[in-house]
Structure 1
Amino acid sequence: MALFATYLGAFMHSTFYIGGAKGIDSWTLLWLADSTSADITIVVPGTAAQQPEEAQQAISRARKGNRIKEIVELGAPHLSVKAYHARNRWMVDRSALTIGFPHATEPSSGTWQTINYTADQGKPRLIIPV
C-alpha cells in the first residue's frame, strides 16, 4: 500500500477511472476508497456482475462506503481481449493522465496496451512497474 501512497497520493483530489478487474485494479480501488477523497468511476467491458469475485468484492466494499461515483458498464456481449482494449481506450479518452502499474515481465499486457494507447493520444503517463 505504500506504493499507492507514493504514486497516487499526489492525486488524492482527482477523478480516477479504474478498470474494475482483479489484482491491481481492485487494490487501487480499495486504497483510493479508504485513503482519499478522489472521485472514483469503475469501468467494465461488460457488466460488473461479470467481473471476477475479487473485483466484485472490492466494488461492493467501496460502494458500501459511498466511494464510487459511477459504474460504467460498456455492455460487451463477450469478455474478450477486444472488449478489454475498448474499455481501456474508453478510460484513456476521458483522462488527462494515465497511471499504470504494469508487470515488468509482461510486455504485452493490457496495462501496456493502455499505456501505449495513451502515448499515441499524446497524453502523459506515469508508469510504475510492479
Structure 2
Amino acid sequence: MTTYDTEWIMRLVTITGTRETAHKPLAEYADLFEQYLEPFVPGAHFYLGGAVGIDTLALLWLADQTTAAITVVAPGTLSQQPAEAREAVARTRGRITEIVELAAAKLRSPAYHARNRWMVDRTSMTIGFPHATAPSTGTWQTINYTAEQRKPRLIVPV
C-alpha cells in the first residue's frame, strides 16, 4: 500500500481558522462543523493548531461528536497556549490521538506560520474557517500554502 492509498483511505485534514469567534453564537459553529467537517469524519484524522477560536471550538466539537482521530499541534509547548486552549485540550485529552509540540523558541508569527505549514505538509487537504478576507491572516496564509502545495482546500467563511 502506498502513501497515496493510505491518504485515500484515511483522510488527513488540517483545520485552520480565525481566533475571533465571538461574533457568532456557539450553536452556529456547531452547525458549520456538522455541515463541513462531518462529511470527512469517516476514516479521518484531523490536525488542529491548539489555539483559541476555531481550533478550540473544532477540537471540542470533534471530540464530543465524532470518533475521528485528532492531533493537536502547538508551535511551542502546550503550556504556552492560552488558558482556554489548554482547558479544551485537558477536557478532551482522552480523545486526542497525539499532541505535537514544535518547541519554537519565540511564539511570534513565524512560529505560528511554521506550525501551520507543518500541519499542511502532513495532511492531504485543509478546511479553513476565515473571518477576514485579508490575505495576511494566519488562516489565509495556511489556505494559500495549501494551494501552493496543490492540495485541496475547503473555505468556509465565518
Scaled to the shorter chain, the TM-score interval is over 0.9
Q: TM-score, normalised by structure 2?
A: 0.79
Counterpart code for 2:95: R
Q: TM-score, normalised by structure 1?
A: 0.96
Name the residue aligned to 2:7: none
Greater gyration radius: 2
Q: Work out the CA distance in 2 between the residues paired with 1:42 and 1:19.
A: 6
Give 4+ residue runs of structure 1 displaced > 4 Å after superposition. none
Q: Work out the CA distance in 2 between the residues paired with 1:96 and 1:105.
A: 24
Per-residue deviation at 1:12?
A: 1.5
Name the residue aligned to 1:43: 73
Q: Work out the CA distance in 1 between the residues paired with 2:91 and 2:40.
A: 21
Per-residue deviation at 1:104?
A: 3.0
4-13 vs 19-28, greater mean Cα deviation = 4-13
- Which of the numbers 116, 125, 131 marks the counterpart of 1:88? 116
Per-residue deviation at 1:11?
A: 1.4
Aligned-pair Cα RMSD in Å:
0.8
Name the residue aligned to 2:90: 60
Note the residue ranges of structure 2 that are not aligned, 5 or more in a row.
Answer: 1-29
- Which of the numbers 76, 85, 110 marks the counterpart of 2:104? 76
Counterpart code for 1:55: A
Per-residue deviation at 1:106?
A: 4.1
Name the residue aligned to 1:12: 41
Whose relative contact order is higher, 1 or 2, with alpha carbons under 8 Å and at least 6 apart? 2
Residues 85-128 of structure 1 deviation map (CA, whole Å, 9 limit, x = unaligned):
00000000001010000113443110000000000000000000
Counterpart code for 1:37: T
Q: Work out the CA distance in 2 between the residues paired with 1:95 and 1:31.
A: 20
Note the residue ranges of structure 1 that are not aligned, 5 or more in a row.
Answer: none
The aligned length equals 128
Q: Work out the CA distance in 2 between the residues paired with 1:12 and 1:67.
A: 14
Name the residue aligned to 2:55: 25
Q: Percent identity?
A: 66
Q: Work out the CA distance in 2 between the residues paired with 1:22 and 1:49.
A: 13
